[in-house]
Amino acid sequence: SQQGEEDPQALSIQEGENATMNCSYKTSINNLQWYRQNSGRGLVHLILIRSNEREKHSGRLRVTLDTSKKSSSLLITASRAADTASYFCATDPNSKLTFGKGITLSVRP
């Protein structure tokens, strides 16, 4: 069964704009992770936020975690055409990394 649910399912923005993607989950977690998948490629680990952390930054990425609401958001600032990809949140109930359905992000040049 799915643990994470991303929102929106698809997002289209102009280059230079910020992209915000949300993820909700159901059970308690040790950490929440975000991955990117370019078309026809494997998943790339972007960032991991632990359950005792509220916010984390990595380059143009900012992740927040609200365990009381069982939700997380991924913000990509100053988007580029190369950010066009599918983004997945993943959580680890029972030590099994479980993915949401993903968000398709299109960045228009």
Give the side-chain half-sphere CA count within 13 A for 14: 1
Binding to another protein by residue 109, rule CB under 8 A?
Answer: no
- Under rule CB under 8 A, residue 57 binds another protein: no
Among left, alpha and beta (phi > 0; psi -120 to 50; other), residue 80 is beta
**Tokens encoding 82:** 């190369």
Question: Residues 56, 64, 101, 106: which binds another protein (CB under 8 A)?
Answer: 101
Site for another protein in 28-47 (CB under 8 A): 30-31, 33, 35, 37, 41-45
Q: CA distances (Å), 16 to each of 21, 66, 88, 97, in order?
A: 16, 27, 22, 32
- The answer to whether residue 52 forms part of the interface with another protein (CB under 8 A) is no
Rule CB under 8 A: which residues touch another protein? 2, 30-31, 33, 35, 37, 41-45, 48, 86, 88, 92, 95-99, 101-102
